[in-house]
Amino acid sequence: MTKIKTEQVKNYLLSLQDAICAALEEQDGERVFSEESWEYHGGGGGRARVLEGGHVFEKAGVNFSFVKGERLPASATAKRPELEGRSFQAMGVSLVIHPDNPFVPTSHANVRLMVAEKDGEEPVWWFGGGYDLTPYYGFEEDCQHWHSTAKTACEPFGESVYPRYKKWCDDYFFLKHRNEPRGIGGLFYDDLNEWPFERCFEFMQAVGNSFIDAYIPIVEKRRQTPFSEQHKQFQQYRRGRYVEFNLVYDRGTLFGLQSGGRTESILMSLPPLVRWNYNWQPEPGSEEARLYDVFLKPRDWVNEPEVLR
């Protein structure tokens, strides 16, 4: 029988939350995260941390949760009906960062472990997670750095891992009703149990630990870029796509709401200011149009021979 080391995973997730919050506070230099602990009705709870109105980050949320329930919600059994009716444990760290400067991209990441249990049967477990980047004004070198860091994190686990999880990310973070991707992707994986538990846990740690290396250098490079009200309005318009995805498609949001999780923590991913302009189109040849023409399409960022500008 597989030994599921939930306490070890929980301790790692708490330390990851601490490390990411410390790195973001250092970048912001003005505000720190507020913290609120909460309890889950079925057992367990979480530690929500939010930074708002900072010098660099308009809103950043980094949440830890560890919850238990008597019955897996529908979002968790839709593709695995054989697990319907099982009790569950779910733990993870999930974060969304909405910078103030439109030249700094929004970023999302999460890593998680799910365990489905039934009396008399061996528990079924799997890992999931990843991270993705949502720029408003694109820079090829940032995209290449982001994907190169993701690829480096995956390399110890096999040559096929990065391309497989990059494609999964491109496919997952796609707004079907808009026929466009949310951003430039990264990594996405779910139902990971193809390796022994310890190896899958090592992969979770590789992904989680690489997030700071992937994101912080981009923040440092772009946070001082001058911007106008037009840049800010375009950022807020594109944030609308972020809201649409999270409320319509995102599995984590659906799981949290269906399982009766803490609503404030689940919806901390939403940006503070958003706009929807009816049938808006960017001016041809503008920097806003360039986001659509150059960045909002799948590209092999790691292997492109040179940076185009």
Residues labelled as active-site residues: 108
> DSSP letter string over 15-40?
HHHHHHHHHHHHHHSS---EEEEEE-
Q: Is 110 annotated as a binding residue?
A: yes
Q: Is 29 annotated as a binding residue?
A: no
Distance CA 240, CA 261 (A): 24
* DSSP H or E stretch at residue 217: helix 197-222
SS (H, E, C) 90-133: EEEEEEEEEECCCCCCEEEEEEEEEEEECCCCCCEEEEEEEEEE
Q: Is 231 annotated as a binding residue?
A: no
Q: Is 111 annotated as a binding residue?
A: yes
SS (H, E, C) 247-297: HHCCHHHHHHHHCCCCHHHHHHHCCCCCCCCCCCCCCCCCHHHHHHHHHCC
Q: Is 193 annotated as a binding residue?
A: no
Q: Is 147 annotated as a binding residue?
A: yes
Q: Is 208 annotated as a binding residue?
A: no
For the record, the structure tokens of 84 come out as: 């319907």
Strands 57-69 and 44-52 come out as antiparallel
Q: Is 34 annotated as a binding residue?
A: no
Burial class (CB in 10 A: 0-12, 13-18, 19+), 242: buried
Q: Is 98 annotated as a binding residue?
A: yes
**Cα 158 to the chain's mean position, in Å?**
22
Q: Is 108 annotated as a binding residue?
A: yes
**To 10 degrees, the CA torsion angle through 60, 20, 128, 254?**
-20
Binding residues for substrate: 94, 110-112, 260-262
Binding residues for a divalent metal cation: 98, 108, 147, 177
Binding residues: 94, 98, 108, 110-112, 147, 177, 260-262
